[in-house]
Amino acid sequence: AQSVTQPDIHITVSEGASLELRCNYSYGATPYLFWYVQSPGQGLQLLLKYFSGDTLVQGIKGFEAEFKRSQSSFNLRKPSVHWSDAAEYFCAASTGGFKTIFGAGTRLFVKA
Amino acid sequence: GAVVSQHPSWVICKSGTSVKIECRSLDFQATTMFWYRQFPKQSLMLMATSNEGSKATYEQGVEKDKFLINHASLTLSTLTVTSAHPEDSSFYICSARPSQTSGNTIYFGEGSWLTVV
């Protein structure tokens, strides 16, 4: 069955430190991959997406993600975290049918 | 960028009543829209795929007679929660895929909070 796994339920990072959020997918073929951020009580904001081509994808707010086919991973990174980055982050995947499957989410806490 | 609007943003209804949530694509046409439900501190679960002019496709375990979906136009899909109960209280989010695109980008609405009392 198709699935998206985010192993970390929550992560705490000091402000200014680097961040990496993990995401693994299980699909028959390489799906389209996305990272979304959700602030409490809010909708989703797309950070970045991977369809094909360059495996290092740049997104908004200084985020980037790297697609690694051999590891079925699409990890999100940011070199220096800001307090405003505290939120819930969802990795998601979809195929040609456009149905999007979401991971369980990773809650990011930023400490001063 | 493309905008998807949901209305209402939040609604409180009495148990046993029905409530309708609208999802509109404001600046593009969407043949296909999707409805998700998100319980507190949980991920988004796809409920159904809404197709303009045809019946919605429901995910396994989702009661189609309870969650009525209508996609009457290329810019509007509605989700009606019938005979709502407290356990239906949740955050409902829709997304829409532009018809005039070959890509796989979909756009999400801001979500609608439903509280059934």
Residue of A nearest to B3 (CA): A45
Could you tell me if B42 lies within 8 Å of chain A, comparing CB atoms?
Answer: yes
pLDDT at position A100, please? Answer: 87
Residue of A nearest to B47 (CA): A99
Of B32, B93, B103, the CB nearest to A43: B93
Residue B2 pLDDT greater than 80, yes or no: no
Name beta bridge partners: A10.
A107
Q: What does chain B come to in residues?
A: 117
User: What's the domain range around A43?
Assistant: 3-111
Of A44, A101, A103, the CB nearest to B93: A44
DSSP for A6-29? ---SEEEEETTS-EEE--EEE-SS
Q: Using omega within 30 degrees of 0 as the cis cutoff, is the peptide bond preceding A31 cis?
A: no
Number of domains in chain A: 1
Residue B65 pLDDT greater than 70, yes or no: yes
**CATH number assigned to the domain comprising residue A47:** 2.60.40.10
pLDDT tens profile A19-65? 999 999 998 888 899 999 998 878 889 999 998 889 999 999 999 99
Counting one residue from chain A and one from chain B, the pairs whose CB atoms sit within 8 A come to 48
